[in-house]
Structure 1
Amino acid sequence: MEQKKEFMLMFRYEPSFDYQPTAAEMDEMHQQWGAFIGNIAIQEKLVSTHQLGFEGKQISADHSVISGIYISEKQILAGNMIVKANSLDEAVEIAKDCPILSMGGTVEVRNIQPM
């Protein structure tokens, strides 16, 4: 039996500081994320998952430091998940159920290579 490989799913979305979800909408989002993560865990494919905050600093090659998080194409990296799958295509199929997609966000799936 082939050993499963690990893949990182990176969740990105465009934040809207003009709109704040209601408590009911937040509850629904938490339920969707719980179901998504729980389904992967039940299949024994979940390795880890992390939600990222909005505080951060960036360090440049010249060692200068600026406050703030990196925003690319108006999107921020919201979190990540590491899953086990037989192939990149299988990891992509897992990612297709991610709730961030219904929010207009994206999921990038990358293979993980040991260092």
Structure 2
Amino acid sequence: MSEFLYLFSGEEWAGSPAEMQQHMQRWAVWAKELTEKGHVKAPGRPLERTGKLVQGRQKVVVDGPFAEAKDVIGGYLLIEAEDLAHAVELAKGCPALERGGTVEVRPVMKMSR
């Protein structure tokens, strides 16, 4: 098994409170299924939309992130899967996709200790 990071972005949050509640329930069901099948290595959490960027050799600190709204990372999840193809297949169940979102699937580099 290998580790993969899911980065969630671009999800549209329009809808009534009841619709939002139903959508969040779908997120909970999806996460529970991944957990029960042994894929969740570390539960992620939603991220705030604000932060700071530390840049370059001068370590300049600026407000950020400065990305298109659709590209702002809204949350993450660390999972285990057989390989990249398996991780991608698991990501296809993500409720963010129902609302125009994306799931970036990134392999976590194996490092010797």
Q: Determine the structure 2 residue equivalent to 1:6.
A: 3
Q: Determine the structure 2 residue equivalent to 1:50.
A: 45
Match of 2:19 among 10, 22, 25: 25
Contact 2:5/2:108, CA 8 A, preserved across alignment: yes
Contact 1:15/1:76, CA 8 A, preserved across alignment: no
Q: Determine the structure 2 residue equivalent to 1:37.
A: 31
Cα drift, residue 72 of structure 1: 4.5
The separation in 2 between residues aligned to 1:68 and 1:93, in whole angstroms, is 32
Contact 1:14/1:75, CA 8 A, preserved across alignment: no
- Structure 2 alignment gaps of length 5 or more: none
Superposed structure 1 runs of 4+ greater than 3 Å apart: none
Q: Determine the structure 2 residue equivalent to 1:91.
A: 87
Question: Is 1:60–2:55 an aligned residue pair?
Answer: yes
Cα drift, residue 51 of structure 1: 1.2
Structure-2 change in CA distance of 1:14 and 1:71 (3 Å): farther
Cα drift, residue 70 of structure 1: 3.5
The separation in 1 between residues aligned to 2:91 and 2:104, in whole angstroms, is 8
Q: Determine the structure 1 residue equivalent to 2:103.
A: 107
- Structure 1 alignment gaps of length 5 or more: none
Deviations 1:46-69 (A, max 9, x none): 112221111201111132111132
The separation in 2 between residues aligned to 1:30 and 1:89, in whole angstroms, is 26
